[in-house]
Chain A
Amino acid sequence: GENVEQHPSTLSVQEGDSAVIKCTYSDSASNYFPWYKQELGKRPQLIIDIRSNVGEKKDQRIAVTLNKTAKHFSLHITETQPEDSAVYFCAASLSGGYNKLIFGAGTRLAVHP
C-alpha cells in the first residue's frame, strides 16, 4: 500500500538553531502535503501545507519545500524556540480517495534553551 516515511523520529536542537524534518511519499499522484504540530496531550494542528503546483512555501519561521520528481518534501523551522517543542507529522493526499491523507509516523522535536 501507499506510505509516507518521515525522518528523523527524534530531533534535539538548541534554541536559535534550525530544524529540518524530511518526508518521502510513494503515491506519485499525491498533490497535497500538510504538516501538523501536536503538543503533548493536545490535538494535531495544521501549521503549513503545500500543493503540488508549488515548490516552496514560507510562513514566518516555517517553510516547506517539495520535490515532486524525488517524491520528497521537507519542513524547515528557523530560529527555533522552546515553544516549537512538539511532535510534527507530515502527510500526503491519496489518489482516488476523497480528501484522504496518509500520515508519517511523526518527529519529536525538542528545543533546549
Chain B
Amino acid sequence: NAGVTQTPKFQVLKTGQSMTLQCAQDMNHNSMYWYRQDPGMGLRLIYYSASEGTTDKGEVPNGYNVSRLNKREFSLRLESAAPSQTSVYFCASSVRPGQGSGLSSPLHFGNGTRLTVT
C-alpha cells in the first residue's frame, strides 16, 4: 500500500497563476484533509472532506477550493496564486470518526508538496 500519495512534490508558480494539487489514498479511508505548514506555525487546516460528496472549510480556506473526486481522491486548487500561499501542503486521510460519539481518529499524511509563489 502506498498510503497517501501527493503530486507534484515541488512547484513554482508566478503570482496569478493557477494550479491543482492532487492527493490519493489507498487505505479505504472516508475522510480526507488539506493542511498547510509554515515555519513556526505548525499545521493549519485548509479544507476537509468528512466523506465522499462533502467538503467543509477549515481554519484558513481563503484563496483555495477543493474537490472530492471520489472516495480515493481529494484535490486542492489555487485559482490565483499569491506569495502568501508559499508553503508546504500536506494531504491527510483518516477513518471516519465514531459517529455521534465525538471521537477523533488519527491522521495519515502524504509526503507533501512544496509550493513557491514568486
Bound: A99/B108 CA distance, A: 13
Could you tell me the distance in whole angstroms from the C-beta of A46 to the nearest C-beta in chain B? 5
A1, B59: Cα distance in complex, Å? 10
**Looking at the complex, which one of B31, B42, B50, B110 makes contact with A43 (CB distance below 8 Å)?**
B110
Q: 0/1 per residue, B76-110, Cβ < 8 Å to A?
A: 00000000000000100010010000111111111
Q: Does A93 contact B (CB under 8 A)?
A: yes
Are B90 and A31 touching (Cβ within 8 A)?
no
A106 touches which of B42, B94, B105, B108 (Cβ 8 Å): B42
Contact A99 B50 (CB under 8 A): yes
Does B34 lie at the interface of the complex (its beta carbon under 8 Å from any beta carbon of A)?
no
A86 interfacial contact with B, CB 8 Å: no
Cβ–Cβ contact A101 & B41, under 8 A = no
Complex Cα gap A102–B44 (Å): 7
User: A33-67: which have CB < 8 Å to B?
Assistant: 34, 42-46, 49, 51
Q: How far is the CA of A106 from the CA of B76 in the complex (A)?
A: 25
Q: What total of chain B residues lie within 8 Å of the partner, measured CB to CB? A: 26
Please name all residues of chain B whose beta carbon is closer than 8 Å to the beta carbon of A100 when the two chains form the complex.
45, 48, 58
Interface size class for chain A?
20 to 34
A54–B106 alpha-carbon span in the complex (Å): 17
Contact B103 A89 (CB under 8 A): no
Chain A interface (Cβ within 8 Å of chain B)? 1, 4, 6, 9, 31-32, 34, 42-46, 49, 51, 89, 91, 93, 95, 98-106
Q: List 20 A-B contacts (CB under 8 A).
A: A9-B40, A31-B102, A31-B103, A32-B103, A32-B104, A34-B107, A42-B111, A43-B110, A44-B43, A44-B107, A45-B109, A46-B108, A89-B42, A91-B43, A98-B31, A98-B50, A98-B97, A99-B31, A103-B43, A106-B42
Q: Give B residues with C-beta under 8 Å from A.
A: 31, 40-45, 48, 50, 56, 58-59, 90, 94, 97, 102-112
